Amino acid sequence: MKLFFSPTSPYVRKCLVAAHELGLGGRIEFLPSNAHPVNRDRTIIAKNPLGKVPTLLTDDGLALYDSRVICEYLDQLAGGSLFGEGAARWSALTLQALGDGILDGALLARYEDAARPEPLRWSDWRAGQLDKGETSLAHLEAHPDLLAPGRIDIGSIAVACALWYLDLRFGDTDWRARFPSVARWYADFSTRPSWRADWTN
């Protein structure tokens, strides 16, 4: 399998952590990419007309996207249980949507800070996008059952990737001080081998 890759994409990270949890990490070859919302990457577009990473090219010729589809494909390929069944599935999928929603807001705030020309930035928009993360982390802090120790499914992986991206791009927000239970959970999660893998070797 081949994956259009970016080291700073949290959605690529989600796929790779899932792959390593499933024992498939060694089977994924990386393809370089330059996905950007304004200067669009025509190499990716040839396989995924949205021009976004992650995009997975499977061994039997499929081009799969986005990260949710790729992760479910990897799970099925490995006979895994990252998605669960019945009530566990709805919980995993909704928690994944929560993690992805935090990320969507954070990515839009990042584009506001780093891509948009400075005179065109709108602080209310940036604040509203980052507030999705605030209200979501408050929800997780108030419902510790959602991040029970040892919960390894696509939901917990997505939340971990969201926290990783907040640290990467918004390291000054000090979310750990406001959400200490989430911080403890993340400290534990980030010791997993799947999290610590060096993707580029």
What is the contact surface with a second copy in residues (CB under 8 A)? 36-40, 45, 49-52, 62-66, 68-69, 72-73, 90, 93-94, 97-98, 100-102, 105, 108, 111, 115-117, 119-122, 124-125, 127-129, 131-132, 135-136, 138-139
For the record, the structure tokens of 88 come out as 């566990």
> 47 or 192: whose CB is closer to a second copy?
47
> 8 or 39: whose CB is closer to a second copy?
39
Query: By three-state DSSP, how is residue 57 classified?
Result: strand
- Considering the complex, what minimum distance in angstroms separates the CB of residue 169 from a second copy? 18
> 18 or 98: whose CB is closer to a second copy?
98
> 21 or 100: whose CB is closer to a second copy?
100
- Considering the complex, what minimum distance in angstroms separates the CB of residue 108 from a second copy? 8
- Considering the complex, what minimum distance in angstroms separates the CB of residue 49 from a second copy? 4
Instruction: Check if the beta carbon of residue 78 is closer than 8 Å to that of residue 23.
Output: yes
- Considering the complex, what minimum distance in angstroms separates the CB of residue 107 from a second copy? 11
Amino acid at 66: D
Numbers of helices and strands, H then E, in the chain: 9, 4
Query: By three-state DSSP, how is residue 63 classified?
Result: strand
Residue labelled with tokens 């969201």: 162
> 120 or 177: whose CB is closer to a second copy?
120
DSSP per position, 92-141: HHHHHHHHHHHHHHHHHHHHHHHTS-GGG--HHHHHHHHHHHHHHHHHHH
Provide the 8-state DSSP code for 189: H
Cα(120)–Cα(43) distance, integer angstroms: 29
- Considering the complex, what minimum distance in angstroms separates the CB of residue 25 from a second copy? 21
Residue labelled with tokens 């790729």: 70
> 23 or 128: whose CB is closer to a second copy?
128
For the record, the structure tokens of 47 come out as 């396989």
- Considering the complex, what minimum distance in angstroms separates the CB of residue 196 from a second copy? 29
